Structure 1
C-alpha cells in the first residue's frame, strides 16, 4: 500500500528550517528554564515552565504535522493515556477497555478510575464489538493489541461509538502515524508512547495525545497544566531529534520484520507466529485494509519458558528488555509480567540491524 505520509515525513524535516531567520541555529535549541522575563502586564506571553516551553512547542509542531491534528506532549505514554482518560471520563461514566491490551492501562482503570466512580468493562480485541457500545461514554481501543497483535476495525467501532454518543481513544504506539491513521478512520483521540519507535533510541520516556476535538484538547491541556504532568525539555529535545529519523527507521524495521516473520513460520523450534503481514495471520485482511505498514512487532511461541529465555538471553543481537521500538532489536517473555499468554510466548521487536545478520543470530539462538 502506498503510504500517504511519506511526503509529509519529508516536509517534517524542514518545518523548523523553513521558518528560520538568518543566523538562527538549524538544530532545535534546548530551552531549560522554569521562568520567563515578564516585566509589566502579562499579555499572553510564555509565563511559567509548567505551562510553556519553546522546546515542547517545536516538538508538538512536528507531532501535529505527523498526526495532522493538534498534539500535546507528555512525560510518558502512560501519562498521555491518563490525560486522555481523565479528560473524558467522569464519576458514573462507563469505560470499555481491551482485556488483552497493555496491562498498565487496565491497572490504571481498575485501581484508580473505578475508585472514582467509573464503571470499567473489559472485552477481548477479537470480540470487541460483541454486545455493541450503547451506554459507554468512553471506548479505549488498542490495535494491534499488545502483545498478542490482534486487530479491531477502528473505523467501524468509531462509527458505532459515535452513533451511541460515546468517545473513542486509540493507542497507536505499535504502528505510529506512519503505519496507521486512527484519526482519519474516525477515532476521536489518539495516544502514543513515544518512548518506543517515535523516539527510537531507548533514551527518553515520552508520549503524546492527538485530537481534532477542540473541547477534548482543551481538557487534556488543562489536565497537564493542573496535574503538573509535563515533559522535561531535555526529553522533548531527544524525542524531536529521534522523530527526524522515524521514517528511515520505521521502514527498515517493518521490512525486516516481514522477512523474519516469514522465516519464523517455517522454523522447527517455533510453535506459533503472529504478525499481521503474514497472509495466514488472523489479522492480515484487516491490516491490509486499515494500515499502511504491518509494523515491527512479532509474537512467537516456543515450547517452554526455558526455551524462550534461552533464545532471548543467548542471542547476541537481541536485548532482553521490557520495552520495544528501539534501533536495537529486543525481546521478552511476556508471561513473566503476568500477561495471559503461554509460558514460551515471546514479544520480538525488530530493530535496525541488517536483516541477514539479525536472522543468522536469531536462527542460531533458536537452535
Structure 2
C-alpha cells in the first residue's frame, strides 16, 4: 500500500471520531426519520427524507475522503450510472460506451437513452480510441472491463476527450479508490457499485457518484432529489460500516488473487486466464501505470459450459453468485447473461478466505476436471 492510500485509510477510520463530543456514540447512529423538526423558514436545515438524511451525509463524507472528491450516494450502482448519464446527456448528443463492459449499462443506453434522442456508439475496450473522440459528448469507460478484464488508457483518453469538448465517466466498481483513482487521471466523473467490495458483506445494494466539478456535482444532487433515487438509511449505515474495513479486505483480496492467478495460469484445464497482474497478460504494462493494485477478479476460460459449471460446483469455498467483491469468493459463467464471452468463461472473484485454502480448493476442483 502506498503512503497516500495509507493516509486515506487511517483518516477514514477516525473521520467520525475527530468530531465527537463527550458522551457521543463512536459508531454512526442510524437515522431513519422521514420528517425533521422545521419551524419557520427552512434556512438550510434538514427538511424531508427524500432530500436530507444524517446517515447519508456521514456516508458521503467517508466516500469523499477515499475518492478525494464530493460524492453522492445512490441505492445501487445502476442508479449511480443512470444519474451520471442522465445529467450529462441531452437529446441529439452522442454517447460512447464499451461494447464489452457491464451489460446493463448497454441496455440502459440502448433501450432508454436512445429513445430520448441520444446516439449510442459502442467500441471494445482494447480499441476504445479507434475513431477518436471528435463529436462525442460523453465517453463512458470501464477499465478493467467487466468481465473480460481488458484495460484502456484512462489518462490519455480523458485528455483527448477534454480536448474534443466532451465529458468522461469511469465505472470504477472493479477496482475501488484503493486500487485505481480515475479522478486523479483526469476523468470528470467516477461511478461505482458499492454493493461490491465497499459494502463487502453481500448484504447491501448501494452506489455512488464522485466528481470534482461543482456544476456536475450539483446536477447529480438535483437528479437524486427530483428522481427520488435515494438510498435507504439502513443501506447507507451498512455501507458506512463496510467502508471502514475496505482497505484491509481489498488488500487481502488482491494479494490472494495474484497468488491464485499465478498458480492457475498454466493448469491444463484452463484454456486462458486473464489477470492484469500477470507479466504475460496483455494489460500488464498499462495496469502498472494506472493501478496501484491489480484487483481481485480473475477471468478463467474452461473448455465448455458444463466444465465451467463443474468447476464452480466442485469448489467448497466458492459461491455461485452473480456479483463480486464480497468476503466470500464467488464465481459465475458470464455467458449466461449474454456477455460476448466463451460459454466456458468464468468470472472468479477472490474473497477474504485464507489463500492456501482457496488455492487447494480451486486446484482440486480443476484437477478433477482433467481426470474425467
TM-score by structure 1 length? 0.99
Distance in 1, Cα, partners of 2:76 & 2:41: 35
Q: Describe the SS at the equivalent of 2:177.
A: helix
Q: Cα offset for 1:268? A: 1.2
Distance in 2, Cα, partners of 1:12 & 1:97: 33
Q: Describe the SS at the equivalent of 2:277.
A: coil
Distance in 2, Cα, partners of 1:295 & 1:143: 11
Q: Cα offset for 1:155? A: 0.4
Segment of structure 1 superposing worse, 3-12 or 348-357: 3-12
Aligned to 1:136: 136
Distance in 1, Cα, partners of 2:58 & 2:199: 15
Distance in 2, Cα, partners of 1:20 & 1:240: 17
Aligned to 1:310: 310
Aligned to 2:276: 276
Structure 1, residues 123-175: CA drift from partner, whole Å, max 9, x if none? 00000001100000100000000000000000000000000000000000000
Q: Is 1:66 the counterpart of 2:95 in the alignment?
A: no
> Could you tell me whether the CA contact under 8 Å between 1:308 and 1:346 is conserved in 2?
yes
Aligned to 1:95: 95
Unpaired runs of at least 5, structure 2:
368-372
> Could you tell me whether the CA contact under 8 Å between 1:173 and 1:193 is conserved in 2?
yes
Segment of structure 1 superposing worse, 183-192 or 5-14: 5-14
Unpaired runs of at least 5, structure 1:
none
> Could you tell me whether the CA contact under 8 Å between 1:201 and 1:326 is conserved in 2?
yes
Q: Cα offset for 1:3? A: 5.5
Structure 1, residues 92-126: CA drift from partner, whole Å, max 9, x if none? 01000000000000000000000000000000000
Q: Describe the SS at the equivalent of 2:4.
A: coil
Structure 1, residues 49-80: CA drift from partner, whole Å, max 9, x if none? 00000000000000000001000000000000
Q: Describe the SS at the equivalent of 2:310.
A: helix
Q: Over the residues paired in the alignment, what is the CA RMSD in angstroms?
A: 0.7
Aligned to 2:165: 165
Q: Cα offset for 1:6? A: 1.4
> Could you tell me whether the CA contact under 8 Å between 1:9 and 1:66 is conserved in 2?
yes
Runs of 4+ in 1 over 4 A off after TM superposition: none
Aligned CA distance change for structure 1 residues 335 and 3 (closer, same or farther; 3 Å):
farther
Aligned to 2:176: 176
Distance in 1, Cα, partners of 2:93 & 2:266: 48
TM-score by structure 2 length? 0.98
Q: Cα offset for 1:364? A: 1.2
Q: Cα offset for 1:4? A: 2.3
Question: What does 1:1-367 align with in structure 2 at a 5 Å threshold?
Answer: 2=2, 4-367=4-367
Distance in 2, Cα, partners of 1:30 & 1:224: 20
Q: Describe the SS at the equivalent of 2:347.
A: strand
Distance in 1, Cα, partners of 2:119 & 2:315: 44
